[in-house]
Structure 1
Amino acid sequence: MKSPTLQTVIIAVVFAIIAYIVTFVVPASSILVASLVFVSAFLAPLLSSNVSATPSSSSTNKASTSTEDVRTLYVGNLPYRANETSVRELFSAHGSVHSVRLMKDKHTGKRRGFGFVEMAANDLDNAIEALNDTEFQQRTLKVREAKERPERTDDNKQD
């Protein structure tokens, strides 16, 4: 289950405050207040997604994407105890890191020993050269540019 964003929580709290104020201002029945809170639980995530998709935020995302090309690195043979923060620190010494995703087994939740690091394209070669076949927490890393994942169809889907 996905955790709510900060915007969703803030909007839900605002709805709760409005419901609380309505109970004192308007001599309303408890059913009306409960209905208001119930409806607000469905409206808060919808309003939150609309707020995050405002034109100004999407235009700044497009501007930052066009000015800086981001590429993905595959990082293999990671120690199972490594976390996103330690991997980010390691790669940050060699360029601008945008994100780090360490893969986990979907059934056990344990790390699988590999992940992906998104970096600025102009820092990619430097990071590969500096970190490939180097030791990190007693494991020799394998770092290369990630390949595009082929699109999955129903025929090759495994569950």
Structure 2
Amino acid sequence: MSKSLLLTVIVAVIGAVVFYQFLPAIHPAMAYILGVILVAIIYNINSASQASSNESYSGPTMTLYIGNLPYKVRESEVEELFSQHGPVISVRLVRDRKTGRRKGFGFVEMSDKGAKSAMKTLNDALFQERTIKVREAKTQDSEAEKAEMAS
């Protein structure tokens, strides 16, 4: 069972108990439904605030290459790991075009300062029983600049 689903059920039960304590005339099933509605409202408010916090960052960014990721990892788990170091703009985990399975690497775009911190801290760190590699992603622009400087 996922952590968020378990948390939702726990909060819904707590909401049902609270409603049942303050309104003893209400049927327990109705108290549970009100608890679920309360959880949905809280979840929507929380999701909206998280989305606005991601969109509100407008400073310099850096894209990181993340290698040796577990094949079953989700974008939200990677985002949670990297958001400990700074605002995360996007997470893209690469999939095989034919099979749709993840290939074990991806990219995280985040604040420049947070990216440098993440590279320092998370490179060669253990993440879901795998030692991940965190590097600055190479872009076509940087390749062109290196070729230009060499000539």
Count of residues in Structure 1 that have an aligned counterpart in Structure 2: 87
Which of 70, 78, 86 is the matching residue for 1:87? Answer: 78
* Aligned-CA RMSD value: 1.9
Which of 114, 122, 127 is the matching residue for 2:113? Answer: 122
Any gaps of 5 or more consecutive residues in structure 1? Answer: 1-63, 151-159
**Secondary structure class of the residue paired with 2:109:** strand
Any gaps of 5 or more consecutive residues in structure 2? Answer: 1-54, 142-151
Aligned residue type for 1:96: P
- The TM-score normalised by the length of structure 1 is 0.52
Q: Distance in 2 between matches of 1:92 and 1:130?
A: 13
Runs (4+) of structure 1 exceeding 6 A deviation are none
- Please report how far the alpha carbon of residue 124 of structure 1 lies from its aligned counterpart in structure 2 after TM superposition: 1.4
Q: Distance in 2 between matches of 1:124 and 1:109?
A: 28
Larger radius of gyration: 1
Which of 90, 95, 113 is the matching residue for 1:99? Answer: 90
**Secondary structure class of the residue paired with 1:108:** coil
Q: How does 1:48-59 map to 2 (within 5 A)?
A: none
Q: Distance in 1 between matches of 2:115 and 2:85?
A: 8
Q: Distance in 1 between matches of 2:61 and 2:134?
A: 16
Match of 1:132 in 2: 123
- Please report how far the alpha carbon of residue 134 of structure 1 lies from its aligned counterpart in structure 2 after TM superposition: 0.4
Report if aligned partners of 2:57, 2:87 keep a CA contact under 8 Å in 1.
no
| Compared CA separation, residues 131 and 103, structure 1 to 2 (3 A) | same
- Please report how far the alpha carbon of residue 78 of structure 1 lies from its aligned counterpart in structure 2 after TM superposition: 0.2
- The TM-score normalised by the length of structure 2 is 0.54
- Please report how far the alpha carbon of residue 122 of structure 1 lies from its aligned counterpart in structure 2 after TM superposition: 1.6
